[in-house]
Amino acid sequence: MCRFQVLRRAVPGFLVIVAAAACGPVDSAGISANQLLNGAQVTEIQAIAQTGDRPSTVYLQGTVSDRAPLLSGHAYQLQDGSGRIWVITTRELPDLGEERLIQGTVRYQSIPVSGQELGERFVEETQVLQRSPAKNARRAL
C-alpha cells in the first residue's frame, strides 16, 4: 500500500503543497525497508539474502543472540523478527540480549565445496547508531 506525505510550505504570496508518494521505500542496496528510525531505513535481515554478491550498505536493528571472538576482531549474531545474520566488528563484543541499531556493509564469502556453493552473507559493522543494554546481560567473551 502506498503512503502519501503532504508537505506544506509558505512561499511569499503562495502556499505550496507537495505530495510525495512512497511505495515500499528502498535503501542503497535495493532492499525494501520496513521502518524509519533515526533517519535510517531499517532493513529486515531476511531481505539481505536478495542483495547479490556486491557489497551494499544497510541499517539493521535487532537483538544480539550469539557472539564469537575472531583472530582479528569479533563477531556477533544479530536477530530480528525475520531472521539472523553474523556481524563482524573491531569494537568490543556486545552483551547477549543487547538491542542494537547498526550501519554496516553486506559482504558475501564464497565457499565452494564439491561443486556446490555454500557461501554465506555477513555484515561488516561500520557504525553503532543506537544500543540498549540487555536485561540480565552476560559480559562479552
Q: In this structure, is residue 16 part of a structural domain?
A: no
CA-nearest of 44, 52, 99 to 76 is: 99
Q: In this structure, is residue 88 part of a structural domain?
A: yes
Backbone angles phi, psi at 48, to 5 degrees: -65, -25
pLDDT at 2: 39
pLDDT at 72: 87
pLDDT at 103: 96
pLDDT tens sequence across 11-69: 344 333 333 333 344 444 444 344 555 566 899 999 987 776 778 899 999 999 999 98
Question: Could you tell me which residues are beta bridge partners of residue 128?
Answer: 102
**If you ran DSSP here, which 8-state letter would residue 133 be given?**
P
For residues 56, 57, 59, 65, the Cα torsion angle rounded to the nearest 10 degrees is 60
β 14-22/33-37 pair status = unpaired
pLDDT band (50, 70, 90) for residue 135: confident
CATH number at residue 81: 2.40.50.140
Q: In this structure, is residue 119 part of a structural domain?
A: yes
Q: In this structure, is residue 96 part of a structural domain?
A: yes
Q: In this structure, is residue 12 part of a structural domain?
A: no
Domain containing residue 124: 25-132
Give how many domains the chain has, as a whole number.
1
Whole-number Å distance between alpha carbons of 103 and 29: 12
Cell numbers given for 60: 539493521
Q: In this structure, is residue 19 part of a structural domain?
A: no
pLDDT tens sequence across 68-104: 988 889 999 999 999 999 999 999 999 999 999 999 9
Instruction: Scan for cell 536477530, then name that residue.
Output: 79
Q: In this structure, is residue 116 part of a structural domain?
A: yes
